[in-house]
Structure 1
Amino acid sequence: MLKSYEATIEDGQLKWLTDEPKPSSARVIVTILEEITPLVKRRTPPAAITGKGKTLGDLVSSILEEQDWECLK
């Protein structure tokens, strides 16, 4: 049965990221994964609009009055 263990290599030494396997002897296949930078970057607004937003409502209360709800149906 194949088992996978995650580790990093630092200065030629393995550092186990999960439980360290304890076989007395084993045949292994090593696959080196390239370091991948995260694809998701934090978005920041352009300087021209920074701080100019206005909150009109929230998840608890509506920005519309109750009598205006009828027109939304």
Structure 2
Amino acid sequence: MDQPHLDALVAQVTKLSALERIRLVERVMATLEQEFASETHTPRRSLYGLWQDVDISAEEIDEARHEMWDRFPREDI
């Protein structure tokens, strides 16, 4: 829906009473719920075991941590 049609629709809706606007929103929300419920969602791929083939030792983690925090806090910032 392009902008001129949307603007015209909003102009019409603003002419409704507050109760009529609430009813309109309820009907639109019900329609949206049905549309979302009917869509098929692809299941998310499990990330379990993602890093199983990566061999990182505790020493390597400690070394990387030391390298990252070695120059913190910096005085030039």
| TM-score normalised by L of structure 2 | 0.28
User: Larger helix proportion, structure 1 or 2?
Assistant: 2
